[in-house]
A and B are shown apart, each in its own frame.
Chain A
Amino acid sequence: MMRALPLALLLSVGVPTAQAHDLQYTVTGGQAVVVRLFYPDNTAFSFESYEIYPRDGKLPVQVGRTDAHGRIAFLPDRAGQWRIRTFSADGHGLDFRLTTDATAGLSGSDKPFYERHARIVVGVALILGLFGLLNLYIRKRKRP
């Protein structure tokens, strides 16, 4: 009996240490902000690196890689603005912000002003318009 006492004491001291290595998990549903990243031809920006920072924060709250569909699932823990940086090794990527409200739902994000196809039309029109103006300027300059 007396011999067993030190062993029992040693085991009881060791239990918390052993528990610290016992990784457990829970599964719950939650509201996530899902960002999908894709190229103009709809190819997913899959398995690429991303970082999420709180507004003006220097340390990321989440880092990882996009999934096979190019998605990032983010569960913000408070209302505020978040900065998302994504990058691939060949230099593609984005650096944009989104805002979540008090219920951690999405309430706003940076959006390109024009859609892809509209951009082409607007861009070509702008270029031709600018050169048209330049043409008028050159004519005026050459007029005696």
Chain B
Amino acid sequence: MEAVTFDLEKTPLREVNQYLHSDAAELDGKTVTITNPGGTHNIAVGLKADVDVVIDGHAGYYAAGMNQVANVVIEGSAGTGVAENMMSGRVHVKGFASNAAGATAQGGLLVIDGDAGLRCGISMKGVDIVVGGSVGSFSAFMAQAGNLVILGDAGEALGDSLYEARIFVRGNIQSLGADCEVKPMDEEARQILVKLLKESGHADVDPDSFTLLGSARTLYNFHVDNAGAY
């Protein structure tokens, strides 16, 4: 396996991202390490190749946004919008993630070892997100599909105006958003949870310690009695 290293203090980000956008065949199987990220925005965005990328430090905004296929590991924390609109592949943040982690993402797996900020998984459309710590308020707002697993606590208005995404929470929930309710953990959901815990390095965590939340589906069609909730 070939290894390539870029030092962001010496190489401009555009050059690094352009390298990461070269022919998929050329990048396949390579490991690209990016040192001294220093909170730079837009590191490793729009990847489409089967490449391993290691960001050795703290990343700025939109790291690994729009990711497809690639496997991106951020050794430090991630700024706003990490893995936003991810399509497939895997993004792993070893520190904490700021607001809007995994926003609108359609597929793949986002693993955050620390806490995630506000609006984690906002409008998610099929991604799986596993947060080792807690999530801030308004997480999974208008989440449409996919699974959000929270090992810690959740802030205010969790799953507000939820569609068909599943939310699994182990800790305390400050408050549920409109139309988000506790559901019985059926076997299908439990299997999904077990698989995601395993894939995110939490195989030792008891799946029965989680609560499953889903949509009450009362806001799907307009009803005048619900006008205040829209």
Say whether A associates with B.
no
Residues in chain A within 8 A of chain B (CB atoms): none
